[in-house]
């Protein structure tokens, strides 16, 4: 069960607090609904790609929020309910492994982002996107490099997305115990690679990824996303 209280921040994280500078500038300029978004799972070999979206209140703060990659699993779980209850609106959108294979990862990420933003139930005036790539589109995005570390709404979205996806992968681990999905969440690691070599891919593996070329299994053919096959390229 998730922890009910958030542990004291480790010393290394105390000076790395994301802020509301960007959100406050946008609020002051008339943007009423400012949404932070972040993705998780793009580099995994199994499971969905997930995008979190979070709208923060102007008058309340939740402390100890950090980029989800800096937090331990226990710290993220402890923060999850607090962050979810703090947000004015939030949602996590997913694109399944089948959609990743069919569309390619870039389009699958756009699909997950669209589902997340639509799931908010509000219309964004501005969307804050972590990184250099606008995977939201629609003309409302502001790209922020290292936004998950510096922008509070993106950091909140990163925690919501990471915990939601991790819970999905822990549930899948019950069906595929040899792959340690409860520990690796579908990302490559020695035990995951060993299970693939011994048993082949599961129903939740992305079969368009290059690891499929190296499996010692006849009949396990790498899938080429139709849109990319037409272009003669792969984006993986």
Would you say residue 87 lies in a domain? Answer: yes
Q: Are residues 215 and 138 in the same domain?
A: no
Q: Supply the pTM of this predicted model.
A: 0.88
Query: Which is higher by pLDDT, 227 or 164?
Result: 164
The first and second tokens of residue 91, run together, are 């949602």
93 touches 108 (CB < 8 A): no
- 47 and 17 in one domain? yes
Total number of domains constituting the chain: 2
Do 150 and 211 lie in one domain? The reply is: no
Q: Do residues 221 and 158 both lie within one domain? A: no
Chain position carrying tokens 């992968």: 169
Determine contact, residues 141/131, Cβ cutoff 8 Å: no
pLDDT, tens digit, for every residue of 134-185?
Answer: 999 788 999 999 999 999 999 999 999 999 999 999 999 999 999 999 999 9
N residues, the chain: 236
103 and 185 both lie in a single domain: no
Residue 230 has pLDDT above 70, yes or no: no
pLDDT value at 217 more than 80: no
- Residue 232 forms part of a structural domain: no
- Degrees to nearest 5, angle at CA 70 with 66 and 71: 75
Q: What percent of the chain has pLDDT over 90?
A: 72
pLDDT in the model for residue 1? 42
- Expressed as residue numbers, the domain containing 132 is 11-168
- At 95-116, the pLDDT tens digits run 999 999 999 999 999 999 999 9
* Same domain, residue pair 215 and 162: no
In a domain, 2, yes or no: no
60 part of a folded domain: yes
pLDDT of residue 216: 78
């Amino acid at each position: 069960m998730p922890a009910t209280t958030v542990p004291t921040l480790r010393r290394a994280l105390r000076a790395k607090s994301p802020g509301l500078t960007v959100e406050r500038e946008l609020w002051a300029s008339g943007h009423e609904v400012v949404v932070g978004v972040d993705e998780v799972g793009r580099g995994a070999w199994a499971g969905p790609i997930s995008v979190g979206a979070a709208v923060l209140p102007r008058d309340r703060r939740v402390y100890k929020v950090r980029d989800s990659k800096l937090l331990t699993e226990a710290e993220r779980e402890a923060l999850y309910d607090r962050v979810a209850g703090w947000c004015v609106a939030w949602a996590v959108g997913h694109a399944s492994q089948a959609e990743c294979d069919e569309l390619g990862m870039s389009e699958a990420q756009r699909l997950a982002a669209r589902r997340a933003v639509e799931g908010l139930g509000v219309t964004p005036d501005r969307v804050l996107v972590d990184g250099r790539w606008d995977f939201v589109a629609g003309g409302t995005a502001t790209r922020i490099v290292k936004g998950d570390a510096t922008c509070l709404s993106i950091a909140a979205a990163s925690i919501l997305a990471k915990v939601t996806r991790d819970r999905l992968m822990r549930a899948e681990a019950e069906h595929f115990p040899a792959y340690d999905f409860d520990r690796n969440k579908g990302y490559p690691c020695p035990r995951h690679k060993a299970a693939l070599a011994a048993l082949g891919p599961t129903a939740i593996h992305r079969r368009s990824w290059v690891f499929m070329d190296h499996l010692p299994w006849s009949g396990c053919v790498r899938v080429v996303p139709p849109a990319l096959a037409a272009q003669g390229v792969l984006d993986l």
